[in-house]
């Protein structure tokens, strides 16, 4: 292994692996592993495992976890504006995300959530972000589906940058 990309959770890992595959990259063959560390608080344990081994280490995180990741990894951190779901919704647009939900049989549950008093009248972007983030399995499933739906010219900057970084730096 020549490089490791540390990410907070499984949905981040799935998104990066899906994007790499769509761009014709075989991360395993290149010696690059994307490792979900189970939350930003685990960055220290992850560095104990990979730091000092001669393996290049980079990370991708949510904006709220940037300080932890930067303290641990310095400049090799790629930050989602809010989180992965926010990045993907902005890149695809709400209408396209709803098309993906419909294709996967989840548009009706999303519409039900939109009718709940706490979500009624809120921006669709926020509603989608909440819906996609409202369960670990949903986050993981839709990480793949949404990255597969992306126009490769509109890949969110942090995802594109971390994939490019692993190709160039290591």
- Say which CATH architecture domain 3-84+152-169 belongs to: 3-Layer(aba) Sandwich (3.40)
Residue spans per domain, the chain: 3-84+152-169, 85-142
Q: CA dihedral in degrees (92, 96, 98, 103; nearest 10)?
A: -120
Is the pTM higher than 0.75? yes
Q: Six-digit token pair at 130?
A: 């909440």
- Distance, in Å, from the CA atom of 108 to the CA atom of 5, rounded to the nearest integer, reads 36
Please answer whether residues 8 and 40 qualify as being in contact, where contact means their C-beta atoms are separated by less than 8 angstroms.
yes
How do the pLDDT tens digits run along the chain, 170 residues long? 888 999 999 999 999 999 999 999 999 999 999 999 999 999 999 988 886 667 889 999 999 999 999 999 998 999 999 999 999 999 999 999 999 999 999 999 999 999 999 999 999 999 999 999 987 699 999 999 999 999 999 999 999 999 888 765 54
């Amino acid at each position: 292994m020549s490089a490791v990309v540390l990410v907070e959770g499984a949905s981040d890992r799935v998104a990066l692996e899906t994007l790499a595959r769509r761009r014709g990259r075989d991360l395993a063959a290149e010696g690059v592993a994307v490792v979900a560390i189970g939350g930003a608080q685990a960055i220290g344990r992850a560095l104990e495992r990979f730091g000092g081994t001669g393996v290049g280490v980079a990370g991708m995180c949510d904006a709220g976890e940037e300080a932890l990741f930067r303290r641990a990894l310095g400049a090799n951190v790629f930050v989602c504006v809010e989180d992965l779901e926010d990045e993907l919704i902005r890149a695809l647009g709400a209408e396209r995300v709803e098309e993906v939900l419909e294709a996967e049989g989840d548009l009706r549950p999303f519409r039900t959530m939109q009718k709940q008093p706490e979500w009624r009248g809120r921006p669709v972007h926020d509603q989608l972000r909440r819906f996609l983030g409202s369960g670990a399995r949903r986050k993981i499933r839709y990480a793949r589906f949404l990255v597969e739906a992306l126009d490769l010219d509109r890949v969110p900057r942090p995802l594109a940058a971390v994939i490019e970084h692993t190709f160039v730096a290591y």
